Amino acid sequence: MEKYKKILKKRIIFLTIFVVFAVLLQIFIFYNGYEVADIESFRDELVGFQTGLLCSMIILFVFQIVRYIRAMKNDTQLKKLYNCENDERRKDIKQKSGGNVLLFSSVVIIFAGIISGYFNEVVSYTLIACAFFQLNLCALLKLYYSKKY
Amino acid sequence: MKTKIKELRKQYKLSQEELALAVGTTRQTITSIECGKYTSSLVLAYKIAKYFNLSIEEVFDFSEVEEI
């Protein structure tokens, strides 16, 4: 379990760095993003989308950090978390629903969507819609296989 | 696959959560194995059998597999 504790510590550090960076970016967008929105090619919706995405990621990561810290303080919780992450049934379900591949490609597509938003609105919305479709598909498959096994 | 896990748990007065924690899995996996929805790996089957001081054949019913 000591090895796993070290892994959790690394994860906490990584997530904290990301949260700090995201909060700083959020502050920057709040003060500067809407000024740029005056330019014709830049739309308010895009700033809104970025703000929403960042906020949800910050909330999600803070929740995860709290979860890890709580688990590290309690050995039973730590073992439960370890078992949960290394459970063979969960791994099977994840593999069958294409968890890792779909999640990774969706994240890449979302980032591509955000960047393309600065150049072409239609391409941006198409990419984001595509990513959300993939994520929904992944969730549905996960639900299906969770019921099946 | 049929198993005797439920009976053994009752005999030892164990909850699914306690057994799951002892053998390094989740409560949901134990539920699925007990219901016959999920066939556990050899490693997990060994861990469960060892926990009850029994052999794998005594805990898991392989008659369906043998028929095939």
Instruction: Answer with the one of A56, A86, A116 that is the final residue of a domain.
Output: A86
Q: How far is the C-alpha of B26 from the C-alpha of A84, rounded, in Å?
A: 6
Both A76 and A101 in one domain: the answer is no
Asked if A85 is an interface residue toward chain B (Cβ–Cβ < 8 A), one would say no
Residue of B nearest to A87 (CA): B25
Both A147 and A74 in one domain: the answer is no
Q: Which of A76, A80, A83, A148 to mutate to test the interface with B (most CBs of B within 10 A)?
A: A83
Would you tell me which CATH number, out of the four given (1.10.260.40, 3.40.50.2300, 3.30.300.30, 3.20.20.70), belongs to the domain B5-67?
A: 1.10.260.40
Question: Could you tell me the two tokens for B5?
Answer: 């896990």
Q: How far is the C-alpha of A126 from the C-alpha of A103, rounded, in Å?
A: 17
User: Which structural domain range is residue A13 located in?
Assistant: 1-86
* pLDDT tens for the 149 residues of chain A, in order: 888 999 999 999 999 999 999 888 888 877 776 555 555 555 667 777 778 878 888 999 999 999 999 999 998 899 999 999 999 999 999 988 887 888 889 989 988 887 787 778 788 889 989 999 999 999 999 999 998 88
Query: In a 10 Å sphere around its CB, with 0-12 CB exposed, 13-18 middle and 19+ buried, how is residue A32 labelled?
Result: exposed
Both A92 and A135 in one domain: the answer is yes
